[in-house]
Amino acid sequence: MDVLDQAELPFPESLPEFQRLFPNDAACAAYLEKARWREGFVCPHCGVVAEPFRIATRPGILQCRTCRRQTGLLVGTVMERSHTPLSVWFWAAYLVASQTQGMSAVQFQRQLGP
Ligand SMILES: [Zn+2]
């Protein structure tokens, strides 16, 4: 199942589910994108609402189809200047969120957010 196909952002309830939801960095980037733009990507540079280009070799970077400027999903987060793979950050955030009572997608996103 594609993360982007779900109306609500999922929160993995178990390790197998985590691995299914976030098999790679691209899946993690897609989750961050969905968390930021629930209604779909809005270019912060020109304001156009449209599917951006995604760069396969650089998960977390989106490029506007209209103005061609790039937007970093990780700007302002702990992941911004790190060379650690997104999937590792996601795992760490999952562990922290799952230590807290009433773990939820919201807490999970807080771990990953700016
Ligand atoms: Zn733009």
Q: How many Cβ atoms sit within 10 Å of the Cβ of residue 84?
A: 10
- Say yes or no to pLDDT of 89 above 80: yes
Rounded to an integer, the average pLDDT of 84-101 is: 85
Q: How far is the CA of 42 from the centre of ligand 1 (A)?
A: 8
Q: How far is the CA of 43 from the centre of ligand 1 (A)?
A: 5
Give the whole-angstrom CA distance, residue 46 versus residue 48. Answer: 6
Q: How far is the CA of 28 from the centre of ligand 1 (A)?
A: 23
User: What's the pLDDT at 52?
Assistant: 95
Nearest to 113 by CA among 58, 7, 43, 31: 31
Give the whole-angstrom CA distance, residue 43 versus residue 89. Answer: 25
Q: What is the pLDDT of residues 21-52, one digit of tens each?
A: 999 999 999 999 988 998 899 999 999 999 99
The residues spanned by each domain of the chain are 3-112
